[in-house]
Amino acid sequence: MTSRPEEPAISKPTNSHSPRAEVSGTGLAKVLSSRDALFVGFGAMIGFGWIVLTSGWLQSAGTLGAMLAFAAGGVIMIFVGLVYSELVAAMPFAGGEHNYLLRGLGPRGAVFGSWAIAGGYISVVMFEAVAIPQTVEYIFPNLSQIYLWNVAGSDVYLTWAIVGSAAALIIGLINIRGIKTASLVQTFVVSFLLIVGVLLIVGTSVGAEPSNAQPLFTGGVPGMIAVLVAVPFLFVGFDVIPQSAEEVRVPPRQIGALVVVSVLMAIVWYLLIIFTSSMAIPSSDLAGYELVTADALAILLGHEIWGTIVIAGGLAGIITSWNAFLIGASRLLFSMARARMIPLWFGKLHPQYRTPSNAVIFISALAFVAPFLGSGMLGWIVDAGSPAIIIAYFMVSVVFLVLRKKEPHMDRPMRVGGRGNAGGTVIGVLSVILTALLLFIYIPVTPWSAQLGWPSWVMFGAWMLLGICFIARLPGGIRPGEKAEADLIAAVQAKRGET
């Protein structure tokens, strides 16, 4: 039976801020319903990219080429999602990847993979902090006032940066107050996004011009790969559900199913965005539109107000993605601190709200600073975060196979591939191969990696180097398995003379 060791150094609550909430063994409040968890995962995947990047996708690969690239990327994420669904059902603990990697690979592998995905999550939070003032500026063109400096060719204005920093402060405070409060915000905003999706369908049905979708393919295979490179950053988020597993009050098997459903919802969303945008604007005119999806709905329904509503949907997407990744990253840092992998400071729970407040403060501080580096940071952040995300997905896929072999009798409330081992092994092998191929795209020797500039590699390298420093501090001799975390905590406490 999978269990979680008690943690004496991090205080346990005697009550929760919600009288209806259960409390997990580590002090986190179990307050999320299945809908809450689903909207956290789906909302994480639907950020701001669908507003600003659609034109580039269509120009690079054509209508059908872009849709096929996203479908292919979606298939990869479905296999990864299936792997996660079995693992989260077996180990429904906060920290997601941290638990799976620790059990299958031991502490060093767990730190490397967990630190990588934490960096990917934080890169999304920083991205959204920069994206939100950029989006607000489309609604309020005179937003940029009081020039500060220029970073990477991007002018930074005080009023512009304050909008992003203020949002970081507000969303951080919401998350400190509790995951239920954060999930209520998530549910409201995702519901608005779904309304925008319905409007796009209506607009396509009444104002579409099929000839605008031509050419169906441009750029050949390289064009499709150029679109595929963006898939990890745009689909990352379903794994936020496992990060918050200790705060979901549904059976473990159902948590696993929510992971897969959230991925399917995101695939449908992105395909809808590409299709509706291509039906509204001729390919020859795409370069003249900066916000293609918003302009597409305005054209389809014949009034600018509809484009403004889509931009509002973009703001909604920023909030849902930001909120979800702040939840995921903070729970991951909390779990790593609880296992003594990183400083215990990150494992402190708020005495009233039972949230990992120090981890939330740390991530929100990075988001607070990001807007002062300007919009030129957007590309750097995306390119630095994507390979980190795929490293973690690849490692989790490997662990899936390792645990299937080493622990065949492990309690698995949700067993993908049927009762036998063969079906699950096939899914695991495909997940390993597909994530390895996706990771190969980012290796500097490949032609597609050229789009990752040196600032992105510096950011990625610095983050992973810090993770390696944490690995070097770990005591040796800790074997993978169910007791790996308890053994690691005991070894660290003995080394430091803790009781």
For residue 291, give both structure tokens. 């916000």
SS3 155: strand
CA distance 448 to 219: 14
Do strands 29-30 and 154-157 pair parallel, antiparallel, or not at all (unpaired)? unpaired
Can you list the positions of beta strands (E) in 389-440?
A: none
* CATH architecture group of domain 22-496: Up-down Bundle (1.20)
CA distance 138 to 156: 16
CA distance 28 to 189: 24
SS3 250: coil
Can you list the positions of beta strands (E) in 131-237?
A: 147-151, 154-157
CA distance 292 to 300: 12
Beta bridge partners of 30: 22
Check if the beta carbon of residue 12 is closer than 8 Å to that of residue 231: no
Beta bridge partners of 147: 157
Check if the beta carbon of residue 74 is closer than 8 Å to that of residue 235: yes
Segments of the chain scoring below 50 in pLDDT: 1-21, 23-25
Check if the beta carbon of residue 357 is closer than 8 Å to that of residue 28: no
Give the model's pLDDT for residue 162.
Answer: 94
CA distance 481 to 399: 11
pTM of the model: 0.78
Domain ranges of the chain: 22-496
CA distance 485 to 488: 5
Check if the beta carbon of residue 234 is closer than 8 Å to that of residue 128: no
Give the model's pLDDT for residue 7.
Answer: 41
* Cβ contacts of 275 within 8 Å, gap of 6 or more: 63, 67, 204, 213
DSSP characters over 232-296: HHHHTTTTHHHHTGGGB-S-HHHHHHHHHHHHHHHHHHHHHHHHHHHHHS-GGGGGG-SSHHHHH
Give the model's pLDDT for residue 6.
Answer: 40
What is the number of other CB atoms lying within 10 angstroms of the CB of residue 127? 28
Check if the beta carbon of residue 383 is closer than 8 Å to that of residue 456: yes
Can you list the positions of beta strands (E) in 290-443?
A: none
CA distance 31 to 166: 27
